[in-house]
A = this chain, B = another copy of it.
Amino acid sequence: MNKPNIVILGAGYGGIMTTVKLQKKLGVNDANITLVNKHDYHYQTTWLHENAAGTLHHDRTRLPIKDVVDFSKVNFVQDTVLSIKPDDKKVVLENGELDYDYLVVALGFEAATFGIPGLIENAFTISSINSSRLIREHIDYNFAKYNNEAENKQERLNIVIGGGGFTGIEFAGEIANRVPELCKEYDIDRSKVRIIVVEAAPTVLPGFDPQLVEYAMNALEAKGVEFKVGAMLKECKPDGIVIEKDEKREEIPTNTTVWAAGVRANSIVEESGLEVNRGKVEVQPDLRAPSHQDVFVVGDCALIMNEETGRPYPPTAQIAIQEADVAAHNLSVLIKGGTELETFHFNNQGTVASLGHDDAIGVILGDKKLFGWSASVMKKIIDNRYLLKLGGVGLLLKKGKFNIFSK
């Protein structure tokens, strides 16, 4: 009865997919599998911008862990991870400790704020169900307040998005769709509302095809989004931000700054004593930590070099899900006494960024560019494919996106 303990930290894309794969590969007599997560639900981080904008309810984005993880095969501990002690093979939780023989670190990302003054205190992030529905309610509240003050405050109607990367642009598209509804709800003239994307790079969506970037900017501008590119966010205050562009400073009044300009690995990883590079564990091809052969790392906490570009792969859901496949496979091999571990190779299935539910841009099949309705449909297909993989047809029907013909 001396079964090895497998502990999986985090039920995001990487963690939950590793768990679901493992419960298929291993029998209850092979290992004790324990999944640790802060909440009793899994959520799709790539949908959170819709919850934040209020265009999709957060219950569509999350699902009970028990719906996809078989609790007769896997122990579930709802708790917050405080630290990892890899030399002691221990994990410290808020309400206890766990010993492990094998550990899967899938703790995801946190916002990187680069020391910009006031950002931690005053900006919102699209990082969890809690933080996203707070953005929705914060914007609603400011719009509701606007007509209740003797002097109208423009900062209540200005929405600033820090960062024109993937998340920033996707949120801009959603909130641009939402604003007309908000204006109707609170009797506010649409022309008074500003949505401003601030991006330090010379262009938004860096790394995307320039033609698609142009399409995206035009589409969003047509919906009333303003762009400040080549502009650095210098300070974030409760009622405004300071940006600098061409050595000129500008203040923009706003109560709502959504910071979407940078993520880093969960800082527990850096503090754990695992060997790190830029805060992440640069994993072996078998996804184990070089310094600790009993620790697998998947998702945003793992660093894998793209040998073609010489730069790390960006942290995406797609790569986390693929890593989970390999980690689960290798773990089951080790548990069964094998030694032949698989090597991770990223299989790029393309990237699609939504511009509201009715428009998108993307690249698939290596170099095929998509935009407009076809890209929007492709985005939903990608989302649905994940649900199918995670929980089968039942989950797909329950949580899938099928509104492909609505404009």
Give Cα distance in the complex from A283 to B143, angstroms.
Answer: 41
Closest to A144 in B: B137
Query: Contact at B148–A144, with CB atoms within 8 Å?
Result: no
Contact of A140 among B129, B141, B143, B187 (CB under 8 A): B141
Q: Return chain B residues, CB-CB under 8 Å to A148.
A: 130-131, 134
Question: A280 on the interface (CB 8 Å rule)?
Answer: no
Q: Return chain B residues, CB-CB under 8 Å to A369.
A: none
Question: Residue among A144, A186, A187 with the most chain B CB within 10 A?
Answer: A144
The interface size bin for chain A is 10 to 19
Pull 11 A–B residue pairs with CB atoms less than 8 Å apart, ordered by A: A130-B147, A130-B148, A131-B148, A134-B145, A134-B148, A136-B144, A137-B137, A137-B141, A137-B144, A137-B145, A138-B141
Those 9 A-B pairs whose CB atoms lie nearest each other, nearest first: A137-B144, A141-B141, A137-B141, A134-B144, A130-B147, A137-B140, A130-B148, A134-B148, A133-B144
Q: Return chain B residues, CB-CB under 8 Å to A138.
A: 141, 144
Closest to A137 in B: B144
Restricting to A367-393, which residues have a CB under 8 Å from any CB of B?
none
Q: Return chain B residues, CB-CB under 8 Å to A131.
A: 148
Closest to A131 in B: B148
Question: Residue among A137, A147, A186 with the most chain B CB within 10 A?
Answer: A137
Give Cα distance in the complex from A140 to B143, angstroms.
Answer: 13
Closest to A62 in B: B187
Closest to A129 in B: B187
Restricting to A129-181, which residues have a CB under 8 Å from any CB of B?
129-131, 133-134, 136-138, 140-141, 143-145, 147-148
Q: Return chain B residues, CB-CB under 8 Å to A130.
A: 144, 147-148, 187
Restricting to A109-143, which residues have a CB under 8 Å from any CB of B?
129-131, 133-134, 136-138, 140-141, 143
Closest to A41 in B: B187
